[in-house]
Each structure stands twice: as structure tokens, then as C-alpha cells.
Amino acid sequence: MLLKGESIKINSKEVLFSVLNSYSQIFFSTSKVLAVSLLIISFFDYGAGISGLISVLIANFLAHILGYNKYYLKSGIYGFNSLLVGLGVGLLFQPSLPLYLLVAVTAVSCFFFTIVFQGILGKYGLPFLSIPFLITIWIVSLSADQLTALNISERGIYTYNELFGLGGHTMVKLYDWLEKLVDSSFIRIYFYSLGAIFFQKGLLAGIIISLGLLYYSRITFALSILGYSVSYLFYNLVGIEFNSLIYTFIGFNYILTAVALGGYYLIPGKTSYLWIIVLLPSVVLFTIGTDQVFRQFHISPYSLPFNMVVLMFLYALKLRERRPADLHETPVQMGNPEKNLYLQSGNMKRFPSRYPVAASLPFFGEWEVSQGHNGEFTHKDAWRNAWDFIITDKDGKQFKGSGDFPEDYFCFGKAITSPFDGTVEELVNTIADNKIGDVDTRNNWGNTIIIKHSNEIYSKLCHLKYHSIEVKEGDRVKQGQLLAKCGNSGRSPYPHLHFQFQSKPYIGSPTIDYPFGHYLLREEKYSFETFSIPQKGQLVANPMKNELLSKALHFIPGQKITGNLEEVSLKTGEIIKKEAFLWEVNTDPYNTSYIESKGEKAFAYLYNNGSLHYFTNFIGEKDNPLFWFFTAFFKVPLGFLPDSRIQDQLPLNFMFGGILKFLQDFFAPVYLFLKADYVLEFKKAGDILSSEGLTMVSSLTKRIAGRETGKYIHTINIKESGHIEIEITNRDTKIRIACRSEQ
Amino acid sequence: MEKIKYEKPVINKISAGVPSKFGLPVKQKIISDIDGIKVSTLMEKYGSPLFVISERTIREVFAEAKRAFETRYPKVQFAWSYKTNYMDAVCSIYHDEGSWAEVVSGFEFEKALSNGVNGSQIIFNGPDKSETDLTMAIEHNACIHIDHFDELYLLIEISRKINKKARVAIRVNLDAGIYPIWDRFGFNYENGDAWNAINRIMLAENLELIGLHTHIGTYIMVSSAYAIAASKLANLYMAVHRKFDYWLKYIDLGGGFASKNTLKGAYMPGTETCPSFDEYAEAISNALISSEIPHENLPVLFLETGRALIDDAGFLLTTVLANKRLNSGRRSTVIDAGVNLLFTSFWYNLGVYPSKEMSGGAEESTIYGPLCMNIDVVRDAIVFPHVNTGDQLVIERVGAYNMTQSMQFITYRPNMVLIDMEGKTHIIRKKESLETFKQQELNPKR
């Protein structure tokens, strides 16, 4: 519903985009080049072309006037099913006024099917694919015989006549030339099948579509060939007549299934490709089977097999309990398989979605891991994924004096804190501490606290000091809150903390292989570890927050940032570019924060969990100052870490283009030879009160097959006032960016 | 067979406890080397008397203190108390370990700067801060701990004059349940002066209140006093947040931890009675963590421990000048180091030990220094073996105050030597000579 005074006016650009995207959306794309080529193909038959266009306009107009989601409207989600219906109906009958009227009517009903299926399937997080189209086109096909005022189309019978009408002699010649050129039936049927998606017969449409696909995405193109080849092999293997695909509109099912599952709804990769090979034979069987049934009604199953298999598989994947690392549903749809892959391949390492709990170490100061996972003493079998922590001095000794009393041990009586927010599930507080060397095997775990962090993740802290627990069952605890003191109760010959993650709330439950969210590892220098498992003998500590850095990188929705950029040529010393900019922090409906460059359509998406700041994605032109901000602060620990470093990798599509990236796209699901390494080092981290500014250097190194080919160095200064200055140098230029928050 | 050495017979008066028929056995401790270097070697090379500082001990004790606090409290920062020992070599070791500097005069401030300490990492304490000192402190962005209202007014004036914000904290004095209450420094907690001062600072334009400081006394032998002090400061910390919606950055509990020296009049030796770092740390961190302060807003904990960190690392090597039997029949020994070098001998029964095995029994004696002054008594009663002229003795636990408070009186001050981590010795301050004085003195009569 529109509010009073709210304008329903839209500009012509939005109308154009919503129409074009309705075309490319058939291949899950919003590529304008692909859209234009598809639009042209649709007009190979002007009746069908006009019908298609009418349908799209009607559907989009309805979506607009009835007030459906603008974003979906613009990306063509509401239009593409009606488009398919329009094309299909337009080809069914001879062009005439009643036909266009029929098209309009079907477009309306198809639009409402679209809305209904979006609503129903959306609840399960599933796409509605082309189901609205299927239902509408079946209804029309079934009633075709009764629509006597409309003449059943005679097209496809007098091919040359039609071609002549379309483009005169040239067109006829081109057709003949192509027919002669491509004489392998394997290739011919591939192009026919592609063309069939747009109800086109003949090679030309298929060739144009395949070029459009190649331009839009190498992975999609490769997948279309893979899906087609697998089904071809299966046809031959089980002895189905393959050539029949030339005159039925069903060969594209294999291509669409491969494109949808192999690279769009799932992150493309070896595993997704493998699943295409596994699934396509069943698509073939579905196709043959449904075709036999639908033949009784003189209609085609069209894309029914594709819809069934894709929806079934996606729904089945959603019901998984575990998410194996190599078969992932696309978390943020970038609308392009390559972008999805490059973003995900980095983000998989950066934010393993398997780890919803980012636990800190459950103590203050530096402790040593005395027994790690699969330890030699007690961390075995079901309890193998646990840690024992002690405190040692610089000579590795864990006690002072003779070590005959628990009090001699450095860790005894030290504060034990909550590793993460949660609820105290169960606790034992009444078991006496052992004398040194004694073990209490009857009360194996000693005094224990179990905290529930999520439905599947609990942490258990054991061998606590007698009567030292300061929380009660049912208490909500926060990360870092004091829970108890380290002790020597239970099966503990000397004081230590036993810590484990488990999936059940009971004392004695088996452990799970789950990492700590972030911690400092002390070797020669400090390194910042994320989602890692401390190993035996390592010295670990919680990072301390740097107030200045935390404040500078704490972006609040509504916050405005102003600044300016200056680019200087290193050769001539001339100022090449000078500009001022205004950024604004915002959040999207998914509650993701981003910085927007006002008026420039550039967005840098970010994530801050209190210990780390990440930029997760960038959308927009790369010559925008916001892009340099994005690369400079790609990943920044907010901890107080003089002289430490952290590493990461930028999605490669941000740093590479042209032929190299074109080649990489083909191999991307299997192997990445292009890399953009990110390293951040703290040069001057200020002090514990953050009373001085700080200096960091982040560098971006472009590598081709391991060889360095370019390097960007960002020197970042954060002033005490919170002002940020970044100086970026590469081979030719030096860019200076200064920005500050508006008060 | 070697001839057995003659030993003089001694008659000991049995004075305490239930002795066996052999009297009270005294096992004489000896210190023959420091960090593996023979006392005789050191004295041969650098003369007598001689101050020796062990870098190894400094670092070990510091690590112990740091561990005690950092494993109990999330944010801890030590600041080296300059007055305890401001030899540059010593300060540098603490700064290398991550300590900030805590100074109480313009001189110490300058010394800290010259040791390469960043101005913002200097804590400026004490009642004596001149306008020049305060200007220097503001210019260097130091943490100025205000002692009294007059200083506060002066600070407001200076910061306005030079138009620069001053980072300040207030020194608070409070009743921590011990005697005496050091109410001469800072603003009183109980009578509301401290709260008053906080309010004035919060409203002052050019002052930024960043912390709260207290220093409850010196040589505090009950750790619970620190718990009381910490919880009182925590109350102020929360009060500031409630009234001004502002989190202060730190709470500074000063120093005053006892070292292992034995106070005069103490019944038991200090090694037995003084709390360890662990006990102090336990009391302080428990008080802060269990206070009203939400754990994610806990302040940084500053500690200005001096004595407890360095006392053990300092030794004074000295030589026996003479033995004397007093009129009362009491044995006395004169050594070449006296109260001119051992300021702490006024408070402590310092441990004096021979550097080699002494045969024969021990006898209650008095140890005198070399000065021609009646007050020059190093120990007035010590059960001490019979030493001979020229024997070398070691006085332990003299790292705190003695090197900085030793005075030039009657004789020159001796060499000071540091033994580094590799066991190498370095002179860190040269023995004085007549030249030292001629440089400073002016004589209008000549």
C-alpha cells in the first residue's frame, strides 16, 4: 500500500533494467549484454518477440502498481516467468490481436502464480524457478484446441520462408552456411537445446545465447557444456534416441540443471561439479518419464524435470545437520558464479559458518597447553578433542618451590572466565582438591561448569577449585565473566584447567572438534589466530582490545564520514586526481552493515565481532576511494598487539581482470592460480591506554601462480582524534586518503 | 695432615627458647658469589665497598609479579617507581620489560624522558610539581596525578594558558584499615574531597580525567588493605560513570608491597611474614572483579611497585675494617660501608653475611659503619661469626632506595656494578673522586 504523498513515479532507467533483467534472469543473471542478445533472439519470431515483451511489461507493471518488492522487480524476478509464457504462447498461435489479448491474460495469471510460489517456496528458502511458467503454459496448451478464433501457428514448417521474411537472402545464406558448418550432431543439439529455452529452433539462436553465456560467466558456460555432455553420454549408454531432442523443447533441462546447481545455488567447486554428473542421469530419466505421461495430453513437460530435480536437491541440502566444507549453498547471491566463488573461497576461511560460537580463552594472561587434542594421557577416544591448560614460567616450570602443594602451582586459584556468552547448564562445586599426585577417579571431572552457548555447542570447564564457583545453574553469563578458580579436583594429579567443547549438556559427554574463535599465539612474535586449535606446548593468551582502533573501526548506522583523496604520480610528482567524498554507514534488511559512498553506488560491507573488523564485500567501481579503504582495512584485529601480524586473501576478482581472469574463471572451481595476499602489520600499536595514535601497514600482493606481479602498500595512521590517514603506494602512483567522522 | 686452625673459645649466653645441651645451633648462611661471579673477584676488580645489581634477579622477580597479576586480571600495566632506583641501567631493564615510568619530580621526569620513555607513558606523582614541571608534563601528554587543590587550580591555569588538554588522575587517600593513614597525600575519600575534586576536573574545560590513584602506605604487610583500597576506588569509578556517563581508563593502586627484608622490631623474618605477589594480586583483582564494575568495562590496573621488585636484586659488598670488644664485653665489627650508603638500615635489620665459610661459633655482635659518627650502626644486634680484618661481607636486599638515597658524606660514594644476563659486569655509576666535587664547587676566596 502506498502512503499518502509517496510517489509511485519511477524513472525510465528502472523500467529498462526491470525488462532487461527479466530476460537474463532466465539464466539466473542480470547481465545486460546477455539480456540484449536474448531480446534480439526472441524477435527472430516477431509474434513471439512481441508477446514476450508484452508479458514482461504487464508482469512488471503489476508488480509495481500493486507494490511488490522493488528490488525483485528491478532484478527481473517477477518478469521472467511471464516472459517465458509470452514466448511460448506467442509461438503457439499465429500473430493476431486475439493472440496478444490471450498473452496479456496469461501474463496476469502467470504473475500471480509467481507471487504465490515465491511466497510458498520462499518459506523453505527455495527459489520458485519456472514453476509459474509451467502451470500457465500447460493450461494454455491444454485449452489450445478450443481457442478457435486463434489459428494454430504454422511456423517451423516453412523454415526458409520465415528466414527470408526475417532477413532476406542474407539470413537464408547464413542459415545454410551454419547448417553446413556445424555438422556434428553433438554440437548441433547443444545449440538447439540452448535455443529451445527461448522456444527457438535452429543453430543461430543457440550460438548467440552461448556467446552471451560465455560473456556473462565462464563457469556457467562450462557448466552448460558439462550438463549437456553428461546427459548425452547417458542417452547413449542406456540407448535413448538422442536426435529427438532437436524437435522437442526439453533438451535444455540438462543445461539449466547444471547451471543452477553447479554454480548458482551452490558455490561452484569440484564437489558441485561432481554432483552434476551424479544428478543429470536422473534428470534424463525424469524427462523421458514425464514426457511419456504428458504425451497423453499432447503437451510437453517443458522444464518440469529441471524444476523437480533442482528443488528436491536444494531442499534436501537444507535439511543437513552438518555443513561439509565443500558443498555450500550460496550464502550471499552475487548474481554471478565467479563472484560467488571468489567471495566464498575467502569467506570460507574467514568466517567458517560451521563456527557460530567465537570463543575466547577461558582465563586471563598467558597459559600453556599441557595436553592438546588427541593427547598422550587422557585426551583419547570420545574425549580426544579437549585441552589442558597450565601456567608456566619462562623456564617451563609450572610451580614454585618443591611443587608438593597445590598452592605451589602457578595456575592454582587463578580466575577462570566464560569463553563465550551462554547459560550455565550444570555445575559441581563440592569436590575437594586433591593433594599433589593423588587422583580422584570416582569424581573424574571434579568441580565442573557446563555452559550452553547454542543448541549444539556447550563448553565444559573441569577440575575447578573446591567451592570456588561464583555462578549458579541457569545464570546468563557473558564472555570474559569470572566463573570460578582453577583447582585440582577430580582426576587431576596436579592443578590444571581441562576445557572442552561438546554437543550435549551432560558431564561426561563426548567432545567435539571445535576451535577457539581467536587468540594470541606467542612464538618469536605474536600472531593472531582465528578459529584455530591451540596445540600442545603452545603459549596462548587473549588479545587485549585497543580502544582507539576499536573506536575508529566501529561504524554506526547513520554515521557520516567525510574525506578527500589525492593521487600523485611517482614519476612526475604531478597531482593526477583530487576529490572530496562523503560516505555514510547503513544497514541492509539482513542487518549487514555497510559503508556507502554517497552518489557513487559503491558499497563496502563489513562485519565486526568486537575482536576483529572485517570487510566482507565490495560492490562498485574500483577507482572509488572506498575501494582503497576496503583493501586497507580488509581484516584488522582490534586487539592490542605491538609488532604482530595477520594474513588473509582478497577475493581475486577485485584485483585481477582481462584475459587472465577470463582464464582463471574456467579453472576456478578446481584451482586458483591467481591470488591477492593481504598482510597487516602493526608498526606502532599505541599503549594500554591508547593514548597515542597508531600505525599499521597493510600490503596487497598480486600473485600469478605464486609469482609476485604487483604490490600495493597501505600505510595507515589512526590519530588520537580518530582521524584516519591512508597512503597507498604502488609502482606508479601514490594515493593519499584522509577521512574523519562527522560529529 | 693439615694443621687444624686454632679457634678461640666463646661463651654464649642462652637467651630464648628451649635449647638442647649444645645451646642454639646457628647455621651461618654465606654468600660467596652473585649470579656465579665470586664476591672476591668483583671486589678485586671494582674496589670496596661496592653496589652490585643483578639483571637476572630483576627480570625474574618482575616476571613473577607480572604473572601474578596478568593471570588474575585482564589489563595490567606496571610503572617503574623511579625514586626506588633511578639508575639509568636499572630503569632501562624495567622499560625493556614493558614498564612505564612513575616519577615524583621534574628531575625524575627529565630522567625518564632521557631514558627514551614516551611522555604519555610517564605517571607524574607527588606533591612537588612546579609550574615548569607541569607545563613540561602537559606538553609531553603525561598522566598527571593531582595531589591537592592548589595543584588543580594551577593545572587549570596552565592548560588554559598553553591551550593544551592535560590528562589527569587524582591521588586519593583513604582508610584501608591500616595505620598510619597517609592522609597527607591526595584527596580524602571518606570526607568527600576526592569526589569534589573529580567533579571539578570533569567540569574543567582543558582537563581530561583518565584515572584514579591511591598509595596506601609503604611496606604493607596485609594484602587485604589493598582489597579495601581497590573497592573504594571502584566505587568512585562507578560513581563517575553514573554521573557523567563516562568510563575512566585506569585505577592505579600505587606501590607499597613489602619486600623480603625484616623490619626492625619484627618478631619473625620478612621472608616468612611478607605477602607474596600472588597474595597482593589475589586481593586486588578479586576486589576489582567482584566490584560493581561490569567486566567488559574493567579499568586498566596500574601498579607502581618499586621496593618489592628490586630489593632482592641489589647487594652491597663490604670489607671488615676492624674487630673490637666493647666495654660491655660485646663484640663489635667495623666495616667500610655505613649508613651513608645504607639508608634502609634505619628501618630494616639488613642481612649481613660472610662471603666464605667461617669456622667457629657465632656471637651476638654489633656492626658499625666507617663514619666518625655515633649513629653509624648497620646492625645493633646480630648473631655473627668471628670475622677477621680484610674479610669480605655481603649485605643483601639493598636494591631499593639505597642506591638513590646513598649520600656523599665523609667519603666518596663507591662504584655501582650491574651483572647482565650473560654474566658480564658493567660499571653503571663510577666511584666519585675529588674531581667530582671540584666540578660542582665554587670558591670565591681563591
List CB contacts (< 8 A) between A364 and chain B.
70-74
Q: In the predicted model, is pLDDT for residue A4 greater than 50? A: no
Most confident of A382-386, A432-436, A672-676: A432-436
Contact yes or no for B282 and A481 at CB 8 A: no
Question: CB neighbours of A240 closer than 8 A, spacing ≥ 6?
Answer: A284, A288
Numbered residues of chain B with Cβ closer than 8 Å to any chain A Cβ:
63-64, 67, 70-75, 77, 100, 118, 120-121, 141, 143, 167, 210, 249-250, 282, 285, 289-290, 295-296, 300
Instruction: Give mean pLDDT, residues A182-196.
Output: 85
Same domain, yes or no: A151 and A179 = no
Same domain, yes or no: A203 and A146 = no
Same domain, yes or no: A498 and A418 = yes
Q: Give chain A's domain count.
A: 4
Q: What is the pLDDT of residues A354-375, one digit of tens each?
A: 577 889 999 998 999 999 988 8
Contact yes or no for B64 and A393 at CB 8 A: yes
Handedness of CA B71, B72, B73, B76 (dihedral sign): negative
- Among the three residues A282, A315, A330, which one is the final residue of a domain in this structure? A330
Residue A312 lies in a domain: yes
Same domain, yes or no: A508 and A592 = no
The CB density around residue B59, as the number of other CB atoms within 10 Å, is: 17
Rounded to an integer, what distance in angstroms lies between the CA atom of residue B403 and that of residue B52?
Answer: 10
Q: What is the distance, to the nearest Å, from the Cα of residue A127 to the centroid of all Cα atoms in its chain? A: 16
List CB contacts (< 8 A) between B167 and chain A.
691
What is the domain-level CATH number for residue A58?
Answer: 1.10.3430.10
* Conformation bin of residue B235: beta by default, left when phi > 0, alpha when psi is -120 to 50: alpha
Q: Note the pLDDT of residue A536.
A: 92
Instruction: Give mean pLDDT, residues B66-76.
Output: 92
Q: In the predicted model, is pLDDT for residue A456 greater than 90? A: no
What 8-state DSSP symbol labels residue B329?
S
Q: Following DSSP, what letter does each residue of A421-461 receive, concatenated? A: SEEEEEEE--PPBPPTT---STTTT-EEEEEE-SSS-EEEE
| Whole-structure pTM value | 0.75
Residue A217 lies in a domain: yes
What stretches of A239-269 show up as alpha helix (H) in DSSP? 252-259
Residue A409 lies in a domain: yes
Cell numbers for B121: 607513558
- Write the residue in B67, B72, B289 that is nearest to A393 by C-beta: B67
Rounded to an integer, what distance in angstroms lies between the CA atom of residue B288 and that of residue B173?
Answer: 18
Rounded to an integer, what distance in angstroms lies between the CA atom of residue A693 and that of residue A709?
Answer: 33
Instruction: Give mean pLDDT, residues B371-386.
Output: 91
Residue A540 lies in a domain: no
Same domain, yes or no: A700 and A559 = yes
Residue A635 lies in a domain: yes
Q: Does A692 touch chain B (CB under 8 A)?
A: yes
Q: Does A642 touch chain B (CB under 8 A)?
A: no
Contact yes or no for A692 and B289 at CB 8 A: no
Cell numbers for B150: 592548589
Cell numbers for A9: 513515479
Q: For residue B53, which of B256, B261, B311, B306 has the smallest C-alpha distance?
A: B311
Contact yes or no for A414 and B71 at CB 8 A: yes
8 A C-beta contact, residue A204 and residue A163: no
List CB contacts (< 8 A) between B282 and chain A.
413
Chosen for mutation from B295, B297, B301, B303 (greatest number of chain A CBs closer than 10 Å) is B295
Q: For residue A721, which of B208, B250, B300, B145 has the smallest C-alpha distance?
A: B208
What is the domain-level CATH number for residue A442?
Answer: 2.70.70.10
**Residue B20: pLDDT band with limits 50, 70, 90:** low
8 A C-beta contact, residue A268 and residue A669: yes
Q: What is the pLDDT of residues B339-361, one digit of tens each?
A: 999 999 999 999 999 999 887 67
Residue A539 lies in a domain: no
List CB contacts (< 8 A) between B121 and chain A.
687, 691
Q: Note the pLDDT of residue A647.
A: 81
Rounded to an integer, what distance in angstroms lies between the CA atom of residue A691 and that of residue A697?
Answer: 20
Per the omega criterion (within 30 degrees of 0), is the bond before A98 cis? Answer: no
Contact yes or no for A367 and B210 at CB 8 A: no
Same domain, yes or no: A6 and A149 = yes
Q: Indicate the Cα dihedral angle B432, B434, B436, B437, nearest 10°.
A: 120
Q: Are strands B76-81 and A415-417 parallel, antiparallel or unpaired?
A: unpaired
The SS3 of residue B216 is coil
Same domain, yes or no: A61 and A139 = yes
Report the length, in residues, of chain A: 743
- Spell out where B29-158 has E strands: 33-34, 37-38, 50-54, 76-81, 100-103, 122-124, 143-146
List CB contacts (< 8 A) between B63 and chain A.
393-394
- Write the residue in B63, B249, B295 that is nearest to A393 by C-beta: B63
Q: Note the pLDDT of residue A298.
A: 85
Rounded to an integer, what distance in angstroms lies between the CA atom of residue A579 and that of residue A240?
Answer: 65
Tell me which residue range forms the domain holding A637.
547-741
- Write the residue in B70, B249, B250 that is nearest to A364 by C-beta: B70
Q: In the predicted model, is pLDDT for residue A118 greater than 80? A: yes
Chosen for mutation from A469, A688, A720, A721 (greatest number of chain B CBs closer than 10 Å) is A688
Q: What are φ and ψ of residue A243, in 5° steps?
A: -65, -20
Name the average pLDDT for chain A.
Answer: 86
**Residue A51: pLDDT band with limits 50, 70, 90:** very high
Give A641 to chain B, closest Cα distance, Å.
Answer: 13
Per the omega criterion (within 30 degrees of 0), is the bond before B49 cis? Answer: yes
Q: In the predicted model, is pLDDT for residue A459 greater than 50? A: yes
Q: Does A242 touch chain B (CB under 8 A)?
A: no
Handedness of CA B59, B64, B67, B69 (dihedral sign): negative
* Conformation bin of residue B141: beta by default, left when phi > 0, alpha when psi is -120 to 50: left
Q: Which domains does chain B have, with CATH numbers?
A: 33-52+312-432 (2.40.37.10), 55-309 (3.20.20.10)
Residue A149 lies in a domain: yes
